[in-house]
Structure 1
Amino acid sequence: MAKVEDIAECFLYLDDKNEGDGISNLKLQKLVYYAQGFYSAIFNKPLFNNDIAAWAHGPVVPDLYHAYKQHGSNRIPVPVGFDRSSLNSEEIELVEEVFEVFGQYSAWKLRNMTHEESPWLNHEIDAETIPLTEITEYFKTRIN
C-alpha cells in the first residue's frame, strides 16, 4: 500500500514534468481524493491508509494538509528526488490517469466538483471523516 505522501509527491512531479501551472494544497487534496476513490473502486482496496475528512472546501486528508499548509494557496514546490519506485506500477498508472483527467482543472473547479458528490455532501455538515466504504461505493458508480 502506498503512503499518501508518495501519492502527493507523484502528483507534484507529474505537474512539473508536464509543465503544469503548479499545484496548491487545495488542488492536491482533490487529486489525492480522486486517486483514492478510483483506486479503491477499481481494486477493492485503499490506495493509502489516511482518513479523508469532509472539510469546508471539500475532501481533505488532514495529515497531508498539515504537511503543506505553510504554502497557503501558493504552488507547492516540486519535491527534490522523487522516487517512483516508492509506488508500484498499478499505483503509478492510476495516479497518472487521475492526473491526466483531473490535473487540467483549477483547484476551485475541483473543489466545486467535489461539492456536488455524495461522499462530501453526506458528511460536510459535521466535517466528519468520510468512510472509505462510502467513497468506494460512490466511485464504483463512476467507473461502470
Structure 2
Amino acid sequence: MPVRDVAEYILRRNGEMTAMKLQKLVYYAQAWSLVWDERPLFDEKIEAWANGPVCRSLYSAHHRQFSVGPNQIKTGELDLDERATNTVHAVLSFYGDKSAQWLSDLTHLETPWVRARMRADVQDGTPSDEEILLSDMHEYYSGLVNVENNEQA
C-alpha cells in the first residue's frame, strides 16, 4: 500500500498535526508493522534526515506546510487491511499524544536512525538522504519486544 494511505489514515484518525509529527508516526507504523505483522506497511523508503526519519514521497505531499489535516494527503478510499489498521491504532495509542519534538528526539536515540547517519558519515544537523534500512528497524524494534517480554517473565 502507498505511504500516503497510511499518512491519511493517521490524519483521519487523529486529526490535524504538524508535518514533522506525521512523518514520525508513519515511521513508527512502518517499524512496528515489521515486528508485529512481519511485513512492511508500505514500500517507499524512509531516510535519516537531520530532524529524524522522513519518507521523501510523503514529504512531497506536504512540502512547505507546517501542519497537515485530513484529506490533504489523499482523498477517497484508503488501502489498509485489518492488520495494517490494527498496527496503526496501536502506534497511535502509544505515540499519538507525543509532541513532534519528543518523537524526533526519540528517533535520534534509536539505532536505526543512528546507523543510517553513521553510514552517511554526517554530523548532527547535517542533511542526509541515507535510507533507514528495514532490517535495522526490524532488528532494533524486535529487540525492544524481547526486552519487554523478558522483564515480564
Sort the TM-score into its range (normalised by shorter chain): 0.7 to 0.9
Q: Is the 8 A contact 1:10 1:82 kept in 2?
A: no
Measure the CA separation in 2 of the matches of 1:38 and 1:88.
15
User: For residue 150 of structure 2, what is the aligned residue in structure 1?
Assistant: none
| Alignment-derived partner of residue 100 in structure 2 | 107
Q: Residue 77 of structure 1 is aligned with which of 28, 53, 69?
A: 69
Identity percentage of aligned residues = 34
Deviation at 1:82, TM superposition (A): 5.1
Q: Which one of 19, 25, 28 corresponds to residue 22 of structure 2? A: 28
Higher RCO, 1 or 2 (CA under 8 Å, sep at least 6)? Answer: 1
| 1:55-106 deviation digits (Å, cap 9, x = unpaired) | 00001111101111131x2x2121175535x210110111111111101001
Deviation of 1:142 (Å): 2.0
**Structure 1 contact 8–32 (Cα < 8 Å) conserved:** yes
In structure 1, what is the equivalent of residue 39 of structure 2? 45
Pick from 51, 58, 62 the counterpart of residue 57 of structure 1: 51
Over the residues paired in the alignment, what is the CA RMSD in angstroms? 1.5
Separation in 2, partners of 1:15, 1:44: 25
1:89 maps to which of 64, 82, 87: 82
Q: State the number of aligned residues.
A: 135
Residues 41 and 136 in structure 1, CA contact (< 8 A), matched pair in contact too: yes
Deviations 1:90-142 (A, max 9, x none): 10111111111101001001000000001001112522111111111111112
Stretches (4+) displaced over 4 A: none
Structure 1 match to 2:149: none
- Greater gyration radius: 2
Tell me, which stretches of 5 or more residues in structure 1 are unaligned?
17-21
Gaps of 5+ in 2: 121-127, 147-153
Q: With structure 2 as the length reference, what TM-score do the two structures score?
A: 0.82
Q: Hey, what's the Cα distance between the residues in 2 that align with 1:137 and 1:8?
A: 24
Match of 2:125 in 1: none
